[in-house]
Structure 1
């Protein structure tokens, strides 16, 4: 096989250039700062491809011959700093492949079809867009790290947590989001309910809850709301989750099919039962006996009553079902990093 060169564009991460995104140590630091779940996978992807005589580099690394493919993780925002990338997108349309990681509420440009003319293939997790001609299904890659976490005893676990950064979509992007309903505001409602009704049993973690939101001018001028249940940031999400019976697991988006991120999988790895709200067809991908579907409840009060009614036997049945799922070879192959690197080679690059 002749060596192939592939250019990699993680278009909205400033620290990804000069192959830094493939550096394990830099990668770990960036992961801790951003909590972007796929970051540690890229070093493994580069090694996997190298073993098959495929050289994967960020686009700013010179190569001895032109790249076989240009892989774009999300479209770049239309900023002056992105103009060099846009020039490549516009001029090398027969080499470009787009993987849409961010939902429309975060990056609406991913979903503007006017830009799709400049890509030979577009990969999306949103099922409604898939036609297997131009638009193809992909699943967010998940780390297998922590998958063998031992479950803690029911009596030793705290009750409920929510682990998320405190951020809202950039306001100008909201009118450009063509479908789906954002769930950022629903997380706030959840926090406020449990803080008011059961503050001794609810724990909030994540970045940014102790300062104004990045794009919220009102909070910067008038001050921001402080939550007594906020316990700070964290280092190891899986270890933290393993101390809780339940976690509120709200995606960034609902009212779409197939949009399933790392949130529910982190709960599974930690043997924490997720209370899930996100993909409309979640049961197509995840057995219902492995999670609590928030849509089954009229309001947070009904949810709380249900959680309080669960005894140790019922709770352990959820954990048993989760552990059975994590031993399913097809499930692991579909969702975790070993399956992703093979998918990248055989489906994205079309190299068998």
Structure 2
């Protein structure tokens, strides 16, 4: 068995392969990495976090997000974060140091060294409640966090706007879930991070409820989305073309209709009949009026379109299976090419 390393944030001792729901907001964040490890193992390669491979000869190193320090062995990068969050992920000169880089950012893809790879998702079809089987009208599952630096593409303010609108005008129709909402809305920049720490310290001494709609964290998103008719599904930012994260797909697999704002070309990636375009509405009141107009028959049409998409070949590119197979196939082919060249 040969050995390879994966470097992701501060994960050590193979933590990235944990078999539980320890990911952000109750999502099975680690599942695709467990599957990736299994796929490499089938090819005779044991994938481990770098600390587990000290003293071993390593075949290659896979970075989740670009890093400033590269190993002597071949290095590959999966660019999980959008460059708005991690600027290094959008620097072509820096990315050229990798053997291959994988990204959903369409502005970077050259189909040679930088290849297209979408966010992985579990898109397994299952039975879900219909319109009448859902006892929550509208929900949001998100973390109370902002971009590290102020940016006009930030969508956290849009989330706050819709939360406050529902709390004031239709409190019984809305529920907020996720991490960090026991303090006031987080702001971007250094000042925002400092103020956040003050609020966190105060909340431990003087617990409060800055957001009356807040219902707490969730163990599994499906526990909420299976019960909700609609979900306010805003990305963290208006990211690069192709930036489509798990948020919209979590809704789809629960049969919940998402109100989506994010990448500008979402209609090129997902059929328009599967979601509600949040940018269609000039204000939250207009959005609420539309949501209340959706009856059981119209809701059923959304669910039919969602299910049709999930069962179609067009959804395969967003699956865990495609993510793992593509990474393994490309990396192994590249290593074989290097081996042939080194022996020529």
SS in 2 for 1:249: strand
Report the equivalent of 2:142: 164
Q: Structure 1 residues 350, 194: closer, same or farther in 2, change over 3 A?
A: farther
1:20-44 Cα offsets, whole Å, 9 max, x none, are 32242xxx1532x665654122122
Cα distance in 2 for partners of 1:334, 1:122 equals: 17
SS in 2 for 1:75: coil
Cα distance in 2 for partners of 1:189, 1:202 equals: 13
1:51-90 Cα offsets, whole Å, 9 max, x none, are 22122121122378632321100135xxxxxxxxx54x1x
Cα distance in 2 for partners of 1:75, 1:304 equals: 41
Report the equivalent of 2:41: 50
Q: Structure 1 residues 153, 55: closer, same or farther in 2, change over 3 A?
A: same
Cα distance in 2 for partners of 1:53, 1:255 equals: 37
Shift of 1:160: 0.6
1:240-282 Cα offsets, whole Å, 9 max, x none, are 1011110010011215311000011010111000111111111
Report the equivalent of 1:327: 311
- Gaps of at least 5 residues in structure 2 are 203-207, 337-344
Mapping of 1:294-313 within 5 angstroms?
Answer: 294-313=278-297
Cα distance in 1 for partners of 2:133, 2:307 equals: 19
- Gaps of at least 5 residues in structure 1 are 77-85
Cα distance in 2 for partners of 1:318, 1:29 equals: 28
The answer to whether residue 59 in structure 2 is matched with residue 68 in structure 1 is: yes
Shift of 1:303: 1.1
Cα distance in 2 for partners of 1:46, 1:261 equals: 22
Report the equivalent of 1:345: 328
TM-score between the two structures when normalised by the length of structure 2: 0.85
Aligned length: 323
> Which structure exhibits the higher relative contact order, with contacts defined as CA atoms closer than 8 Å and separated by 6 or more residues?
2
Cα distance in 2 for partners of 1:112, 1:286 equals: 28
**RMSD of the alignment, in Å?**
2.6
Shift of 1:96: 1.4
Cα distance in 2 for partners of 1:170, 1:69 equals: 31
Mapping of 1:56-135 within 5 angstroms?
Answer: 56-62=47-53, 66-76=57-67, 86-87=68-69, 89=70, 91-92=71-72, 95-135=74-114
Q: Structure 1 residues 19, 124: closer, same or farther in 2, change over 3 A?
A: same
Q: Which runs of 4+ in 1 moved over 4 A?
A: 33-37, 212-215, 219-225
Q: Is the 8 A contact 2:25 2:220 kept in 1?
A: no
Cα distance in 2 for partners of 1:34, 1:162 equals: 11
SS in 2 for 1:350: helix
Report the equivalent of 1:5: 3
Report the equivalent of 1:315: 299
Q: Is the 8 A contact 1:154 1:245 kept in 2?
A: no
